[in-house]
Amino acid sequence: MRAAAIPRRRCLQALALAGVPALGAAQGVVTIRLSHVVARQTPKGLALERFRERVQSLSQGRIQVVIYPNSALFGDADEIQALQLGAVDMLAPSLSKFGRVGFPEFELFDLPFLFDSKEQVHRVMHSAIGRELLAALERQRMVGLGYLDNGFKHMSANRPLLAPQDFVGLRMRIQSSRVIAHQMRALGAKPVVLGFGETRRALATGVVDGTENPVSNLWTQRMHEVQTDLSLTRHGYLGYCVVVNQRFWNHLPQADRALVRQAMTEALDWGNTIAQYENDEALAHLRLRGGTRIHVPDEDQRQRLRQATQEVSLGLQGRIGRQWIDRVHTLLASKSAG
């Protein structure tokens, strides 16, 4: 039976109990099972494909990466648990999804209007803050291999979402981030946490009224077929952290760890160079296709959205940790001053 046809929890338990070996029996052959929730033609899908190719090439075929995209094996609800149980070896969840599993400090990346540009995001990721966040993952038996961009998120619904009053009463699908939930409430909407793989159907059936994501994710899931309006609000950032099961990692020979790290660093660097292009292309496709009303808020409108969500940082500083937020502000201010 195909894995996708088995109820997720049973599939997860069966795989974990079967103790799928990390290392193959034959001559140091290694298979890395990598699960993710988005389509191949996205910044994450493409970067992970690149990783697969680089690993294969650097190891001359000895290390193989098997990728399960599009929530085919595990979805948002169970992928981190699957990693911890050893049912998969590697994941690249959005930074937002680490909050729920004991890393609320990762949700600082979700703070609305915190970053004006990806350069600012990268400054944080490449600073001591970013390194400490990666190191913290060991608490939950995960090894963080690096960060990857998607891009800035926009708002989708069956109406323009350009001012706080446009959100009132809407049920908005969100990822499992308390910061994003608070953001939606601050705008007057009701946040509904749903797996990414379930979002399109929930929009189609009216379970939810709208959602947020970078355009590459909306386009490749064909959310435009079930939503009439896209508002280019650029209100928050979406990025990822690649994690590997610690036990799997520790069992790899030192040389293989170095090889996998090198392949991943190259793939993530490359992924960060194409992420913007993929989002621009998705928007171009959307415009060309027609049928979606695309709204670009003016500076006044963005300012009002920013003001309406200002309370989020204050309200969630207890959860994220005030020291993390202060350090990010200090870092961004010091660089922009210099």
Nearest to 21 by CA among 298, 235, 252, 279: 252
Half-sphere exposure of 267 (CA within 13 A, CB side): 27
User: Which residue's CB is nearer to ligand LMR, number 98 or number 167?
Assistant: 98
Pairwise CA distance, residues 72 & 51, whole Å? 19
Nearest to 28 by CA among 302, 237, 254, 195: 254
The nearest distance, CB 104 to ligand LMR, in angstroms, is: 17
User: Which residue's CB is nearer to ligand LMR, number 38 or number 259?
Assistant: 38
User: Which residue's CB is nearer to ligand LMR, number 150 or number 313?
Assistant: 150
Residues of the shown chain interacting with ligand LMR in the complex, contacts defined by CB under 6 A: 37-38, 44, 76, 94, 150, 175, 196, 213, 217
The nearest distance, CB 240 to ligand LMR, in angstroms, is: 7
Nearest to 32 by CA among 57, 3, 62: 62
Count of other CB atoms within 10 angstroms of residue 272: 20
Contact of 79 with 91, CB cutoff 8 Å: yes
User: Which residue's CB is nearer to ligand LMR, number 35 or number 213?
Assistant: 213
Nearest to 309 by CA among 196, 191, 199: 191
User: Which residue's CB is nearer to ligand LMR, number 217 or number 279?
Assistant: 217
**210 to each of 93, 110, 170, 224, how far by Cα in Å?**
21, 18, 7, 11
User: Which residue's CB is nearer to ligand LMR, number 239 or number 297?
Assistant: 239
User: Which residue's CB is nearer to ligand LMR, number 59 or number 150?
Assistant: 150
Pairwise CA distance, residues 7 & 53, whole Å? 31
Pairwise CA distance, residues 179 & 315, whole Å? 9
The C-alpha R_g of the chain, in whole angstroms, comes to 20
The nearest distance, CB 155 to ligand LMR, in angstroms, is: 13
The nearest distance, CB 31 to ligand LMR, in angstroms, is: 23
Contacts of 99 (CB under 8 A, 6+ apart): 106, 107, 176, 177, 178, 179, 319
Tell me if residue 22 falls in helix, strand or coil: coil
The nearest distance, CB 151 to ligand LMR, in angstroms, is: 10
The nearest distance, CB 60 to ligand LMR, in angstroms, is: 31
The nearest distance, CB 195 to ligand LMR, in angstroms, is: 7
Pairwise CA distance, residues 217 & 87, whole Å? 26
User: Which residue's CB is nearer to ligand LMR, number 58 or number 232?
Assistant: 232
The nearest distance, CB 124 to ligand LMR, in angstroms, is: 18
